[in-house]
Amino acid sequence: MVGRRYCIDAVGEWIAGPPTGDSMRIAVISDIHAAAGPFREALAAARRTGFDQLLLLGDLLTYGVHPDETLDLACDAVTRDGAVLVRGNHDQIYLDRATRRSGYEATIPEWIRESVEWTWARIGGGDRIARFDWLDDWSVDGLLMAHANPYQPGDWSYLRAPEDLIAACSRLADRGLRAGLFGHTHRFATQESHGSSVTTLGSVGQPRDAGHTSEWSLVDWTKGKMALQRHRVAVEWGTIIRAVRATGLSDKTKDRICGYIS
């Protein structure tokens, strides 16, 4: 049944039952954050598993220390797999910089801005990220996928608390949609209300759940019903932490980035 509230630690198990009948299989990788190693592993696993559509659900860059390689992998996924890129708040920062606009970047904390500056220097400006054909959201047959929530583009409100998830369900129902999948929180959660379901997906590059579970998801959408399988990515977080510590970022920024994955 779509949207039941499911156990959030069932990594590798089908949620809502296995796929049946004529369905669309959608591989979703969210919140990559320049973690090229986990991103590469997630792409390889998704290709082995098979899919009809690949979605990169936003936030390619910031925090991680391999932005060039991350952009290379995303470009290859577009060319090789026909990947669709949905714009996240961090993608918006670099796109705004590429067009000399301010806006969202002015609202972020100084430590994130420092990571953005570091990343911007490494990728040589915004030309590469601006070449992607970014979408605000992607939908098929009653299923909506966006980076943050089902609200208007540029609204980066988080779906963290139960009341946030319920309000998002209400918005989906108002739009005549059965289900919505989002990233942004870096934590898996799911909720049903108002006849619709909302799921926030975990992050492959900077998970913020208690177990630091890097993951991607395989969604099976069949006639308005969803089955979702979470796939764990094995990551040596110590290696990533050492790479962050080796940068010229300030100690404060290093501590904030590493604190999420240590």
Q: Identify the pLDDT of residue 2.
A: 26
Q: Identify the pLDDT of residue 101.
A: 87
Which amino acid is located at 211 in the chain? Answer: G
CA distances in angstroms from 208 to 17, 188, 212, 262, listed in the order given = 26, 9, 6, 10
Mean pLDDT of the chain: 93
Residue 238 CB burial class (10 angstroms; 0-12, 13-18, ≥19): exposed
Q: Identify the pLDDT of residue 170.
A: 98
Give the mean model confidence (pLDDT) for residues 93-109.
Answer: 92
Over the stretch 139-169, which tens digit does the pLDDT of each residue have?
999 999 999 999 999 999 999 999 999 999 9
Q: Identify the pLDDT of residue 9.
A: 35
Over the stretch 189-222, which tens digit does the pLDDT of each residue have?
999 999 999 999 999 999 999 999 999 999 999 9
Q: Identify the pLDDT of residue 20.
A: 53
Over the stretch 5-28, which tens digit does the pLDDT of each residue have?
222 334 455 555 555 557 899 999
Residue 104 CB burial class (10 angstroms; 0-12, 13-18, ≥19): middle
Give the mean model confidence (pLDDT) for residues 27-46.
Answer: 99
User: For the chain, first and last CA: distance in Å?
Assistant: 36
Relative to beta strand 179-182, strand 143-146 is: parallel
Over the stretch 111-146, which tens digit does the pLDDT of each residue have?
999 999 999 999 999 999 999 999 999 999 999 999
Q: Identify the pLDDT of residue 102.
A: 78
Cα angle 209, 34, 31 (rounded to 5 degrees) comes to 40
Give the mean model confidence (pLDDT) for residues 244-258.
Answer: 98
What torsion do the CA atoms of 153, 154, 156, 157 make, to the nearest 10 degrees?
Answer: -70
Q: Identify the pLDDT of residue 22.
A: 76
Calpha distance 202→214 (Å, rounded)? 7
- Considering the entire predicted model, what is its pTM? 0.92
Q: Identify the pLDDT of residue 1.
A: 24
Q: Identify the pLDDT of residue 207.
A: 97
14-257: CATH class: alpha beta
